[in-house]
Chains A and B, each alone.
Chain A
């Protein structure tokens, strides 16, 4: 058993310690937000926050996580970032979007007023194949303009 704190709640998880967080979130905790995209740290579809930083849940074994705080899109409620994504209609298929929101959330918590270049550089890790980039950038700018709480 490994104890994980996800979105403010403790969970005792029965999984092998090398299991990447992604599979525990999806299979054991039934959370849909983090997605499998590559399992290689190349696409960001699996992005969640650990202790306030954006991480690839596909590469983070749960053995590293006891005592840390994991946050997923389910833990945001419908906050300023998500709201901004709705207002910009920043999704086509949407498969990449939860990861985008989590990376944007982490970015804005650390840098409430990022420049356009900073937004693009930070978001560069996350791939979108539908070409929703302009909407996503607009949503991040919009959320930044409103202030994002951690």
Chain B
């Protein structure tokens, strides 16, 4: 039977409730990605010479994943990290772990490798016990050797040669006592950084294969533009030009050298004639336009219980514009078509889904497409990485044998990447005479946050090719993770609450997953509104949050951030703001306190001191956690203060960094200090996106404190601040 207890039943039943219900005797589940890929040798192999290879289906995106996974494997195996080779996402070599996204890598892959490594070490010890004729629990391991109490020792390689690791993992693992960890929980320098500092070949952009040619695409200037006419005359005598590839409105050129390809592309573009339609809505009224589109209503939660009488009721509307991923390195891919098989080097977040998408785009069976993850510039979600692989394979098919390298131009990336959806949240809340929230009504409007390709219809090129594949309708991501409704469910204990997600299927602008999805706006709205309610209740914002929380780990993170910031000392000079969220209400906890100043002449916000506290469960690489949070704070500050994708009725007009400015060094905060609440032995909690939401609301709250104005529409740009202040 399944026991479903509503929150109402629990609340109504009061404190001393004992729930007894029976469950089917269920097999305990294997942890992390061992559920989908149980075989131990899919994750860990030990060669006869003792070399260890670890496999992950996740990818290094600049988040430090490879270093953390090595720390985990090395810790549980008792092998030095530099003696382990780590193979990342590759459709022919590694487990299929879907996308490297949603701050899932540590929970999925980290947990799988943690347990697989512990089990492999256990099997090696069992084998040694048989070899030595002693009990396994008298053995110890160190540096790739199993030691017996009498001094005998045997290497992992020798043991593994007689051991079958092609066995399914069990649900429970002989994990080390976290108190004995020497690597996990200790800062380790990132393994990928030295090569990145010396010009090593680190990125797909750096691949140079024999016979490789360069290609560029003459992109459609606007969504759905039709190529009416083009002229190859101007490029026919250009040095190095190898081929023009055309299919419908898809036009590309291949050349021997990269600069030759760029010049040829520009010449082709100058002579190309397009038919464009004014398909975009008016930017000035985009939020109202979105809110007026047909929606599918998705109820997120309804809580009902006895509560005090409301004495004050507040209402507010928050919004964010379309935001860009804005990778510093435009997307790049290399593809080679040999004997009917396409090999693709790509910085996609999901080699397996991309393989499916490319296979369908090429009308090839999936086993004829091989995707190898190769690092690129940080992506922060679904950017141009997959689409540029689409370019590479289409062009490579037209020039068989030669590896084809395509890197997007800056304007290709800026105007073609799928943006993060614009969103609106409306919230109404009431407090009682004791300053407690007694009622909460929340509605959020958003497009989907997931158009990641797993079929060809979702690739950018599909809109240009003559033979179009069907495009699947957009779908919402269900809770508890959610998409537009991610983090729309408040973590606070509220007696009465209603949350609804108005999912908007129609997408006037091309959109997909941007770091933290809907959580960025939902946390901005909830945490701004918490401050508005605290003010109405004449309560301190930190204390007000604590009084509405039951989750002890949430309280600990808030208290630590407040203590390290010196919140109780009161305001000193600049404005100060606080915000908190647990990402998705199931990943890392993050609280942020910061100061800022406002230039009343210009409306410019100047960030001062930032203090963050984070609980990521068992920390693996504490310095990596700090760096992820620092990065999230700065990126979110940039979104919050400056960013907005602009467009006219036909085209995206944010085509470069001058039309889409982001934070530069002079605007970086004075300092950022990140404190970790260590939780030894507790499950890993994904951290990569935890800082995004809290940063935005902490800024808005500090702005209110500094200048007395409450801004609810992102970006909190200088002109908007200046207008609000009214000077």
Q: Report the separation of the CA atoms of residues A133 and B633 in the bound assembly, to the nearest whole angstrom.
A: 11
Among A37, A40, A78, A117, the residue within 8 A (CB) of B328 is: A37
Pick out which of these stretches binds chain A: B79-87, B162-170, B668-676: B668-676
B375 touches A39 (CB 8 A): no
Q: Report the separation of the CA atoms of residues A35 and B407 in the bound assembly, to the nearest whole angstrom.
A: 11
Among A27, A35, A38, A98, the residue within 8 A (CB) of B197 is: A98
B315 within 8 A of A: no
Among B214, B631, B668, the residue within 8 A (CB) of A137 is: B668
B contacts with A: majority SS: loop
B194 within 8 A of A: yes
B630 touches A135 (CB 8 A): yes
Q: Report the separation of the CA atoms of residues A22 and B390 in the bound assembly, to the nearest whole angstrom.
A: 25
Q: Report the separation of the CA atoms of residues A46 and B669 in the bound assembly, to the nearest whole angstrom.
A: 25
Q: Which of B212-271 contact A (CB under 8 A)?
A: 214, 239, 257-260, 262
Q: Report the separation of the CA atoms of residues A126 and B665 in the bound assembly, to the nearest whole angstrom.
A: 8
Among B202, B328, B631, the residue within 8 A (CB) of A45 is: B328
A43: which B residues are within 8 A, CB to CB?
328, 657
B330: which A residues are within 8 A, CB to CB?
36-37
Among B199, B257, B658, B669, the residue within 8 A (CB) of A73 is: B199
Among B199, B378, B409, B634, the residue within 8 A (CB) of A93 is: B378
Write the nearest CB–CB distance from A59 to chain B, whole angstroms. Answer: 13
B666: which A residues are within 8 A, CB to CB?
117, 120-121, 124
Q: Known interface pairs A38-B410, A128-B328, A129-B380. Does A94 touch B669 (Cβ–Cβ under 8 Å)?
A: no
Question: Size range of the interface on B?
Answer: 35 or more
> Taking CB as reference atom, which chain A residue is nearest B669?
A134
> Taking CB as reference atom, which chain B residue is nearest A129?
B328
Q: Report the separation of the CA atoms of residues A133 and B672 in the bound assembly, to the nearest whole angstrom.
A: 10
Q: Report the separation of the CA atoms of residues A36 and B326 in the bound assembly, to the nearest whole angstrom.
A: 14
Q: Which of A22-67 contact B (CB under 8 A)?
A: 23, 26-27, 30-33, 35-40, 42-43, 45
Write the nearest CB–CB distance from A49 to chain B, whole angstroms. Answer: 14
Q: Report the separation of the CA atoms of residues A38 and B655 in the bound assembly, to the nearest whole angstrom.
A: 11
Interface string of A11-25 (1 = CB under 8 A from B): 000011001100100
A78: which B residues are within 8 A, CB to CB?
194, 197-198
A133 touches B668 (CB 8 A): yes
Q: Report the separation of the CA atoms of residues A85 and B462 in the bound assembly, to the nearest whole angstrom.
A: 43
B325: which A residues are within 8 A, CB to CB?
129
B329 touches A16 (CB 8 A): no
B239 touches A92 (CB 8 A): no
Among B239, B258, B329, B663, the residue within 8 A (CB) of A37 is: B329
Q: Known interface pairs A86-B193, A94-B193, A137-B668. Does A36 touch B407 (Cβ–Cβ under 8 Å)?
A: yes
B634: which A residues are within 8 A, CB to CB?
131-134
B664: which A residues are within 8 A, CB to CB?
124, 127
Q: Known interface pairs A38-B656, A131-B633. Does A86 touch B258 (Cβ–Cβ under 8 Å)?
A: no
Pick out which of these stretches binds chain A: B56-64, B175-183, B293-301: B56-64
Q: Known interface pairs A19-B259, A32-B201, A94-B193. Does A134 touch B62 (Cβ–Cβ under 8 Å)?
A: no
B638: which A residues are within 8 A, CB to CB?
131
Write the nearest CB–CB distance from B551 to chain A, whole angstroms. Answer: 28
B696 within 8 A of A: no
Interface string of B645-668 (1 = CB under 8 A from A): 000000000001110001111101
B192: which A residues are within 8 A, CB to CB?
94
B258 touches A92 (CB 8 A): no
Write the nearest CB–CB distance from A127 to chain B, whole angstroms. Answer: 6
Please list the 8 inter-chain residue pairs (A to B) with the smallest Cβ-Cβ separation, ordered nearest first: A93-B62, A131-B634, A93-B378, A94-B196, A33-B199, A131-B631, A95-B377, A38-B410
Q: Besides the contacts A86-B194, A95-B376, A120-B666, what 20 more A-B pairs have beta carbons closer than 8 Å?
A: A15-B257, A15-B259, A23-B258, A26-B258, A27-B259, A35-B205, A37-B329, A38-B410, A89-B623, A91-B190, A93-B377, A94-B62, A124-B664, A127-B657, A131-B631, A132-B631, A133-B668, A134-B668, A134-B669, A134-B671
